[in-house]
């Protein structure tokens, strides 16, 4: 007898993370210089040259991981990078939030949804506080998926 | 958990990083807005607590001191080729080439909505400062100085900052101003178009 259909929450979560990573990457790739200035505004204790390299590489890391997660190809490696990225985002936004920096987080470009940046809802979504909460939640989600995939890949379950 | 990973996973993760580095540098070299273009440098406004002096402000405005942590960085150009500015902005808003002649004729009041430190570190000459975080009473004081028909143009750092839009909306709404426009490309658009490496200095790294 055919098993009843059940929603695959694990797959949905993986697609959600993948889609968010692709969205985040496209916004940054549209204007690398703007992303660079947004990164500098975080006032991280890093030399500008290193921030420049991050501005160049990070969007592509996001894009590749996002596409791999959406495609279901090399999922574990992509999840590992996603976890690293979300942990870095969590740390960066946390320090900006604690220091009271009024930054545009530069995470997800709302203009791709036709939403204009500025006050109100858009301002809230771009705030460091919300960005911190979102990055932390995504880090937890990525960790959950990664731990699950590592469990399944353990020698006790070699076939999965 | 790490011990549970197959060595293949680490190899794949390394390959993803290598691919991202290669694609990133190739894309950056091709993009007119690439951050590693020759001649593109970046300076930050001074850290909190450091006064901004007139010598650091090419637009000639003495600094008013840093009131808040500065939030913005500036791209400026040194010698060499100026990168193209791909400004895709909302309809009904202004670009710098449109604002420039109006400003020169005194036909508009240009308002810089960035924080005081950013304004002090460099701004479009002729712009007045009204930071988006200005207290309500100071805001009202500013508005009281201008008739309701004053042609205002607001700007902030760049297309992405958006605070000029919220201040402009406040002028239209609570202020009742009827001639309010925005220049969403902001300070970055002006810097790339006009400054030729002389603007936006101060606290550079």
> What pLDDT, in 10s, does the model give residues A79-117?
999 999 999 999 999 988 888 766 667 677 776 676 665
CA distance linking residue A89 with residue A54, whole number of Å: 12
Single out the residue of B94, B92, B108, B122 nearest to residue B194, CA to CA.
Answer: B122
The residue in chain A having the minimum alpha-carbon distance to the alpha carbon of residue B189 is A34
Does residue A82 sit at the B interface (CB-CB below 8 Å)?
no
Tokens at B31, concatenated? 């993009």
Q: Mutation target for A interface from B24, B72, B77: give the one with most A CBs within 10 A.
A: B24
β-sheet bridge partners, residue B153: B110, B181
Interface contact flag, B12 A77, Cβ < 8 Å: yes
The residue in chain A having the minimum alpha-carbon distance to the alpha carbon of residue B73 is A37
Interface contact flag, B160 A34, Cβ < 8 Å: yes
**Verdict on whether the full-model pTM lies above 0.80:** no
pLDDT in tens, B132-173: 878 888 888 899 989 999 999 999 877 666 778 888 888 998
Single out the residue of A10, A154, A1 nearest to residue A72, CA to CA.
Answer: A10
Architecture of the domain made up of B40-195 = 3-Layer(aba) Sandwich (3.40)
Which of left, alpha, beta for A2 (phi over 0: left; psi -120 to 50: alpha)? beta
> For chain B, which residues make up each domain, given as ranges?
1-30, 40-195
Q: Mutation target for A interface from B2, B3, B6, B13: give the one with most A CBs within 10 A.
A: B13
How do the pLDDT tens digits run along chain B, 205 residues long?
556 677 888 999 999 999 999 999 999 988 767 776 544 444 443 333 333 322 233 333 333 332 333 333 444 333 333 333 333 455 568 888 999 999 999 999 999 988 776 677 678 889 999 988 788 888 888 999 899 999 999 998 776 667 788 888 889 988 899 999 999 888 777 876 775 444 433 332 2
pLDDT, residue B137, reads 87
pLDDT, residue A114, reads 67
Instruction: Report the 3 state secondary structure along B102-156.
Output: HHHHCCCEEEECCCHHHHHHCCCCCCEECCCCCCHHHHHHHHHCCCCCCCEEEEC
Does residue B48 sit at the A interface (CB-CB below 8 Å)?
no
Contacts of A15 (CB under 8 A, 6+ apart): A69, A70
pLDDT, residue A117, reads 58
Does residue A104 sit at the B interface (CB-CB below 8 Å)?
yes
| B122 interaction partners in chain A (CB closer than 8 Å) | none
The residue in chain A having the minimum alpha-carbon distance to the alpha carbon of residue B47 is A43
pLDDT, residue A21, reads 96
Q: Which portions of chain A are predicted below pLDDT 50?
A: 157-160
pLDDT, residue A136, reads 96
Beta carbon pairs, A and B, within 8 Å: 153
CA distance linking residue B14 with residue A84, whole number of Å: 13
Of B34, B42, B162, the CB nearest to A122: B162
């Amino acid at each position: 007898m055919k098993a009843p259909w059940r929603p695959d929450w694990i797959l949905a979560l993986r697609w959600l993370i993948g889609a968010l990573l692709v969205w985040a990457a496209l916004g940054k790739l549209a204007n690398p210089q703007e992303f660079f200035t947004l990164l500098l505004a975080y006032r991280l204790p890093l030399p500008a040259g290193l921030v420049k390299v991050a501005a160049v590489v990070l969007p592509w890391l996001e894009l590749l991981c996002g596409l791999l997660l959406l495609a279901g190809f090399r999922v574990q490696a992509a999840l590992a990078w996603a976890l690293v990225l979300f942990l870095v985002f969590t740390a960066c936004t946390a320090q900006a939030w604690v220091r009271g920096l009024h930054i545009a987080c530069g995470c997800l470009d709302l203009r791709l949804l036709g939403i204009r940046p500025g006050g109100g809802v858009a301002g809230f979504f771009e705030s460091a506080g919300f960005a911190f909460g979102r990055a932390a939640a995504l880090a937890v989600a990525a960790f959950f998926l990664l731990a699950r995939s590592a469990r399944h890949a353990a020698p006790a379950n070699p076939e999965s | 958990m790490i011990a549970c990973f197959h060595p293949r996973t680490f190899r794949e993760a390394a390959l993803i990083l290598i691919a991202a580095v290669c694609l990133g540098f190739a894309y950056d070299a091709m993009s007119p807005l690439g951050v590693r273009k020759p001649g593109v440098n970046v300076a930050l406004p001074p850290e909190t607590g450091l006064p901004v002096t007139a010598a650091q402000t090419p637009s000639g405005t003495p600094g008013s001191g840093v009131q808040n942590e500065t939030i913005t960085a500036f791209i400026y150009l040194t010698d060499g080729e100026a990168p193209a500015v791909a400004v895709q902005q909302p309809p009904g808003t202004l670009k710098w080439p449109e604002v420039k002649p109006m400003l020169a004729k005194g036909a508009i009041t240009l308002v810089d909505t960035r924080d005081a430190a950013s304004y002090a570190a460099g701004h479009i000459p002729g712009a007045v400062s009204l930071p988006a975080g200005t207290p309500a009473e100071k805001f009202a004081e500013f508005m009281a100085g201008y008739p309701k028909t004053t042609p205002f143009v607001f700007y902030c750092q760049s297309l992405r900052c958006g605070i000029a839009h919220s201040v402009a909306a406040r002028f239209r709404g609570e202020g009742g101003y009827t001639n309010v426009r925005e220049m969403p490309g902001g300070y970055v658009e002006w810097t790339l178009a006009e400054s030729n490496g002389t603007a936006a200095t101060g606290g550079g790294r």
